[in-house]
Structure 1
């Protein structure tokens, strides 16, 4: 059952599994995904007595902005602030965090800047804090071509394309990013409805423009962006899960993110898994969470 909670800027919709008095675990989806990514992870954690919270990010599903005047920001600091606000509204002082893509970025930021709030971190693809000051440095051409959708969103044509073809475009990304996952076309319709949110397009476009410096951020979050510009180290116990067949960001042979973690840290490359890590590899995701919870 979907519940909701009022925070300063959003009414955040979320799904809860397990007892209210269980140790909290928050599971965070990315773009273009939804809480359905954790359909096999959340019940398994709840069965072990954990209180599992799976929110819809801003711009997804039933989550709504409280005011028409609020910037429909998709910047990294907004995602992190939403996570903090959710925890505060639900009375959660400390939680185990697991996220990937946008949700993983929110989890990494909270773990880096507010380590006392985080029991442990499972991150899809390592250290996800954006280095916006250096975002316009060209990558290797083999990496650049995978970011075509981001450059598309920088244009008016891309905005209209996402408005008119959001389900088709996002399904294409699912296919490109999880090329070896046999269940992607079966599972996609379960998530696609989350993109009908009235703020989906604005949040997505702002996210991919802000990270390149092409759109201003929310002034109220500038303090956090300044803190993130220092690329803060994550000190909480962490496990990085990387899809070996990730079509948007395949893992490098050498773990280039290790230097961003100062506490317990382990990288696990999952063979045959694409970008949608928890939905493609629920058992490996569950194991990583439990490994940290039981440390």
Structure 2
């Protein structure tokens, strides 16, 4: 068994995905999905730990993030992300013992995929973004609206022009604990946003979020699943120092988060963790995830 991280590619759902992977080829699938502005490298601490526990851990680059192709259908809605996760499960030979782990936009994909196809997954883990039902009051907070300025900026024609390295690094610094080393991860992000088409794809996630005209009917079932409570238990983790979606808003009442998750779920705050808590506190986050999957 090797815990070395390797690269690969696979066609799933008609789209070619690049990915990072670790672990035995015959182990149960652990699909790890990243968010914005991030890359599959965000899982570099977790992949070897999952491999050591016997999983075939695979972290794809999400649709539109190089080396994954930009989808020809131009769909970046949550339902498309959930459909990608299901298609990757199929293409990678997953079975009912597979687990799914998602951060940020990857969390949205995880909720949708687990609810839409519960038979494919044994357990789920989400980080930094709670279920939609638990976010309903977030934008009534002035402080949260300030944190979320970029969502509204991305609805404008300025978005592609401003989404450069300086902007991405600014987000990482704002969203991370003071003193966090972010330059290397920003470099990885910019490799994924190497072309104007990649930049437009990253912005497209946010435009589909607020513009119903961008929702394609082919993903309608997955889109509905993304906003409902599924069957598979979820471990939800949120960084206490998250500068993107404040813990003061999301986790002020953990019971409200749990009420939106399936029975048997858990919700935890990770002290000292920012938005990218899997990088800020890797040992603690890895332990929480591995213990959850093993329980």
TM > 0.5: yes
Give the C-alpha shift of residue 210 in structure 1.
Answer: 1.8
Say which is worse superposed, 255-264 or 179-188, in terms of deviation: 179-188
Q: What stretches of structure 2 of length at least 5 have no aligned partner?
A: 1-5
1:193-272 superposed matches below 5 A:
193-197=191-195, 199-213=197-211, 215-228=213-226, 231-251=227-247, 252-255=251-254, 256-272=256-272
For each residue in 1:101-131, what CA deviation from the matched residue of structure 2 results, as whole angstroms up to 9, or x when unmatched?
A: 0111111111122221111111103533489
Confirm or deny: 8 A CA contact 2:131 2:260 kept in the other structure.
Answer: no
Confirm or deny: 8 A CA contact 2:177 2:241 kept in the other structure.
Answer: yes
Please give the alpha-carbon distance, in whole angstroms, between the structure 2 residues aligned to 1:243 and 1:217: 31
**3-state SS of the aligned residue for 1:109?**
helix
1:212/1:291 CA distance change after superposition, 3 Å: same
Confirm or deny: 8 A CA contact 1:126 1:267 kept in the other structure.
Answer: no
Q: What stretches of structure 1 of length at least 5 have no aligned partner?
A: none
1:141/1:126 CA distance change after superposition, 3 Å: closer
Find 2:64's aligned residue among 59, 68, 79: 59
Q: Which residue of 1 aligns with 2:84?
A: 82
**3-state SS of the aligned residue for 1:196?**
coil
Give the C-alpha shift of residue 138 in structure 1.
Answer: 5.3
Please give the alpha-carbon distance, in whole angstroms, between the structure 2 residues aligned to 1:19 and 1:239: 24
Q: Which residue of 1 aligns with 2:160?
A: 159
Instruction: Quote the RMSD (CA, aligned, Å).
Output: 2.3
Q: Which residue of 2 aligns with 1:119?
A: 122
Q: Which residue of 1 aligns with 2:294?
A: 294
TM-score relative to the length of structure 1: 0.88
Confirm or deny: 8 A CA contact 2:7 2:19 kept in the other structure.
Answer: yes
Q: Which residue of 2 aligns with 1:10?
A: 15
Please give the alpha-carbon distance, in whole angstroms, between the structure 1 residues aligned to 2:212 and 2:129: 25
Confirm or deny: 8 A CA contact 1:108 1:129 kept in the other structure.
Answer: no
Please give the alpha-carbon distance, in whole angstroms, between the structure 1 residues aligned to 2:91 and 2:78: 20
Q: Which residue of 2 aligns with 1:92?
A: 94
TM-score relative to the length of structure 2: 0.88
Please give the alpha-carbon distance, in whole angstroms, between the structure 1 residues aligned to 2:160 and 2:45: 33
Please give the alpha-carbon distance, in whole angstroms, between the structure 2 residues aligned to 1:284 and 1:291: 11
Please give the alpha-carbon distance, in whole angstroms, between the structure 2 residues aligned to 1:146 and 1:8: 35
Confirm or deny: 8 A CA contact 1:206 1:215 kept in the other structure.
Answer: no
1:234/1:129 CA distance change after superposition, 3 Å: same
**3-state SS of the aligned residue for 1:149?**
helix
1:77/1:236 CA distance change after superposition, 3 Å: same
Please give the alpha-carbon distance, in whole angstroms, between the structure 2 residues aligned to 1:197 and 1:56: 15
Please give the alpha-carbon distance, in whole angstroms, between the structure 2 residues aligned to 1:157 and 1:19: 45
Q: Which residue of 1 aligns with 2:3?
A: none
**3-state SS of the aligned residue for 1:156?**
coil
**3-state SS of the aligned residue for 1:99?**
strand
